[in-house]
Structure 1
């Protein structure tokens, strides 16, 4: 049902009163009224369930399509960079460690098998350097 037109207060009031009347009926009263009209309560209940299920399916499909569109949009917006190769990782980090005492200390401890930098931490540092424009995708110093 479309609501492109202005709300009709008379119609809204009528629908509210009708809803209130139906909700205040007992099951027996409702079944008696349906029988008086020649309506099959089982068929009407099934039709209502079918309508609700169809609406839920449409809403679910719409959510799925929106999610797919968001994934497609995000994939297009984010370029995935592979980490600097493990054989180059130490060289790239060492080049920047000369300017960062804390990083140099962690790398030294790692070389001595101490509690130093992990591979995940190294990758995170390299990602940050790449995002800052300090290195390119291969770990080479950037020209900028």
Structure 2
């Protein structure tokens, strides 16, 4: 169903059944509307869904890997597909809405560049407390 959406392509094995995971690419959507896989994944959070693995495998541009487990019922998979369909339709009609997602989460948007710097990370509760004690936590 995802392969039939505008802005989505199946880079490999579109004519073969998949086993337990599959990869689609949002490259056409990125080229036409500027909406990247990251934006689609962030928008899925607003639908109450955990975003799947993105940008893996690295040989697929704008990769979006879906790995449904055996425990999901068909209704839950259909809900996931409907959320992706709604997000793609929204990206086609109103790209800025998707580009600025998420809206319904406790934290709107994390500064990913800042969060990935070791200086701003506390790898444990003990490390955080030590930084607080020495007064060097103003950057956290």
- TM-score tier, shorter chain, comes to under 0.3
TM-score computed with the length of structure 1 as normaliser: 0.21
TM-score computed with the length of structure 2 as normaliser: 0.22
Higher RCO, Cα 8 Å, sep 6+: 2
